[in-house]
Structure 1
């Protein structure tokens, strides 16, 4: 989820935690531990200051893993207990654990996902039923916070909200499943599907859809019950061993391949001395442009000249970033 929604969850938990006598009615301590707990797994966002490859490879990785989901509450308990008096450390830890767990849990429902099962598995869990920012969820939480601030008991406010949100998540799973079946019905006569991706956008009735068959990639969107495939591309053979032997160890290519769940590739000989290998994530097509790519240029000896991975919104900006690296 986005930062604003994580904060809203933290404030909602703060409202409920004010009923806990173990926190001694210390609203400052309560808000600190729960809002911080709702945000702290995303501390790895600072990796973006280094480079995109490091950020993509690690964001929502180890900081969302099982060991860190247990470590963050201990750290927060130590810090809060050392600053605020009159609070029960066990209660601080329990609320902090709930806040951190909810952060990691809600993140698995969007397309980016998390490596929440590390160290048992490095697989990205991407359920793709909730957009990174879902306005319905955010405004339901915001409404609850406002009603609580007006003096209504937090149980009266957030009990019904919890039930509504559970129902909303269930509805999104039903919508995704129905759209997946509809999309497959539209392409079943065009080839055997190999991989299917259906994920929401910020608009409730619009979903991103990508289907790979043995011969073609189909990418489009749903508009209500209608599914429109706006891009159809014939699949190229996978890059040969000579190219991949050198490209696969480039940090930008490695980061992309480790993160993207559905993609295609394109090889082009730019001139007699330069070969371009481009990986394109099919999940992020907007305005006829794929926004998340990895690209590498290799010379005649297959040595990497330039490479880049990340979200870029025009071809011109992509080339600038590529040659800047």
Structure 2
């Protein structure tokens, strides 16, 4: 989920903690627990700072080790330990329990996005991505804001947030049902499909579609059960050539291939420069595919420059690469 949603979830969890008599018995413990749930709801996303280094490292590691099983166990110990050092009068066990719940809930809700997490590490590096909830879901965010407003105006936070989470649980079930219906519609539209990726959007009944058959890739949108295919690409294996092998050694391209399950490729030559481009088919926007990885190589197959990330125009991509073809 996005940062804003994680923040309101952390505050709401602090409200639910009012059900714990140990928490409410001391104002210091109450303060520490609310701080713990807010910080715990943010802690796993500390890997966002990797963006400051480069996109390749961020793409490869975001929602990786910081969302793993060891991290889910270590974050609460670290956060509650620091808070206990600041406020030694708090009940550490209950502070740890509520902080743990905040960290766990952060990682748990992230698996419902199409981005997913490596939540099963170290047992598996597989990305767990159920793809039913958009990174920012206005309904989930809105319910949290409503619950917080009711708490602010004097409503008991415990029944308020319990009711809210019961409604949100039903909402999740509905999202799974809609996703299943969309996949069935895709199978009817493309009978020979072998792979279907259905990703949510900010709108309840609209879904992004990327599908593959043995011979083609398909990109489209679902509006309820109505499927619209925008693009159809012939499916071709990327050449097993020295050029491609050299390009795939680049960190940006290798990060892209580790993250993207469905993409197409282009190889172009500009004078004495070779360009290898990989294009993720999941994120079509206004007739453009903005998530790409590009590498330029010279005639000796030395890498000149490369980039991976979100680019919404060729001009911006050229500026990122500091490259102007003649």
> Which TM-score applies when normalising by structure 2?
0.94
Give the CA deviation at 1:85: 4.1
Query: For the residues of structure 1 that align with 2:143 and 2:318, how far apart are their CA atoms?
Result: 42
Q: Which one is further off, 60-69 or 216-225?
A: 216-225
Query: For the residues of structure 2 that align with 1:275 and 1:297, how far apart are their CA atoms?
Result: 6
1:25 matched residue in structure 2: 27
1:274 matched residue in structure 2: 273
C-alpha contact (below 8 Å) 1:18/1:25 kept by paired residues:
no
2:208 matched residue in structure 1: 208
2:218 matched residue in structure 1: 218
Query: For the residues of structure 2 that align with 1:15 and 1:2, how far apart are their CA atoms?
Result: 20
Alignment of 1:64-103 (within 5 A): 64-103=67-106
Number of residue pairs the alignment of both structures matches: 320
Query: For the residues of structure 2 that align with 1:67 and 1:323, how far apart are their CA atoms?
Result: 41
Identify the match of residue 125 of structure 2 among 110, 113, 122: 122
Q: For structure 1, which runs of at least 5 residues remain unmatched after alignment?
A: none
Query: For the residues of structure 1 that align with 2:321 and 2:188, how far apart are their CA atoms?
Result: 39
1:307 matched residue in structure 2: 306
Deviations 1:16-70 (A, max 9, x none): 1123232323342122100000001001111111111111111111111111111
Query: For the residues of structure 2 that align with 1:266 and 1:173, how far apart are their CA atoms?
Result: 35
Query: For the residues of structure 2 that align with 1:217 and 1:319, how far apart are their CA atoms?
Result: 27
The reply on whether 1:105 has 2:108 as its aligned counterpart is: yes
Deviations 1:119-160 (A, max 9, x none): 111111111100000000000111111112222222221121
Q: Which one is further off, 166-175 or 26-35?
A: 26-35
Identify the match of residue 187 of structure 2 among 179, 184, 189: 184
* Cα RMSD after superposing both structures: 1.4
C-alpha contact (below 8 Å) 1:17/1:30 kept by paired residues:
yes
Query: For the residues of structure 1 that align with 2:239 and 2:108, how far apart are their CA atoms?
Result: 36
Q: Which one is further off, 242-251 or 70-79?
A: 242-251
Give the CA deviation at 1:162: 1.5
Q: Runs of 4 or more off by more than 3 Å in structure 1?
A: none
Query: For the residues of structure 2 that align with 1:196 and 1:243, how far apart are their CA atoms?
Result: 30
Alignment of 1:41-56 (within 5 A): 41-56=44-59
The reply on whether 1:61 has 2:60 as its aligned counterpart is: no
Deviations 1:262-311 (A, max 9, x none): 2222222333x222211111111100111111111122222212211001
1:144 matched residue in structure 2: 147
SS in 2 for 1:202: coil
Q: For structure 2, which runs of at least 5 residues remain unmatched after alignment?
A: none
Query: For the residues of structure 2 that align with 1:263 and 1:168, how far apart are their CA atoms?
Result: 31
Query: For the residues of structure 1 that align with 2:300 and 2:274, how far apart are their CA atoms?
Result: 10
